[in-house]
Amino acid sequence: MSKVSVPLVLGVALLAGCASVPKSPAPAAVTAGSAANDNLNTVAWTQTAIEHDLIYREVYRQAGEKLLLALKDRAWDALPRNERKNAVKGLKPAVILDIDETVLDNSPYQARLLASDGDFNEFTWAQWCREKAAKALPGALEFTRSSRTACRSAVKKAAAVN
């Protein structure tokens, strides 16, 4: 490089560093009217995210594994000893589940509320329940069916031993 070109390159580099960059427009201010809608976000995630389905399937798969282990241990009890009022002996195994958003997907009801700009109330909830439109959540049917089979089998084995 010649002696003339080095100062020229340095000068151009310095000037380029001082050049102004066009400013992008400032983000719009968030107002009370544009606050996030948690219900909308929840319904959208519940109804579209593959992670939602995978989580439910995995939780039910693990619950099935834990149930099989518990049924093999005849002394196992879900309740702590100090909360048990009756003897465990002779009780049949049971699986107790909450229905709403554990076994059944009620996100269509929530979506309906969003579409009508409504809030939860007993009347619309009762209407939804009468429709019997809720579908089973991923893994729920498989878990309940396999649990029924496993519990029945455990009862038969216990009866054979006694």
pLDDT band at 119 (very low <50, low <70, confident <90, very high): very high
Which pLDDT value is given to residue 157? 84
- Which helix (H) or strand (E) is 104 found in, with range? strand 104-105
Task: Tell me the average pLDDT of the chain.
Answer: 83
pLDDT band at 38 (very low <50, low <70, confident <90, very high): confident
Name the pTM for this structure.
0.71
Dihedral angle computed from the Cα positions of residues 59, 61, 63 and 68, in that order, rounded to the nearest 10 degrees: -170
Which pLDDT value is given to residue 84? 79
pLDDT at position 9 over 50: no
Q: What length does the chain have?
A: 162
Task: Read off the tokens for 59.
Answer: 């939780």
Mean pLDDT, range 49-73, rounded to an integer: 95
Question: 36-161: which CATH number, 3.40.50.300, 3.40.140.10, 3.30.70.930, 3.40.50.1000?
Answer: 3.40.50.1000
pLDDT at position 28 over 80: no
Q: Exposed, middle or buried: residue 86 (CB in 10 Å: 0-12, 13-18, 19+)?
A: exposed
pLDDT at position 93 over 70: yes
Which pLDDT value is given to residue 24? 60
Q: Give, as one character, the DSSP assignment of residue 90.
A: T
Which pLDDT value is given to residue 33? 57
pLDDT at position 4 over 60: no
Mean pLDDT, range 95-100, rounded to an integer: 92
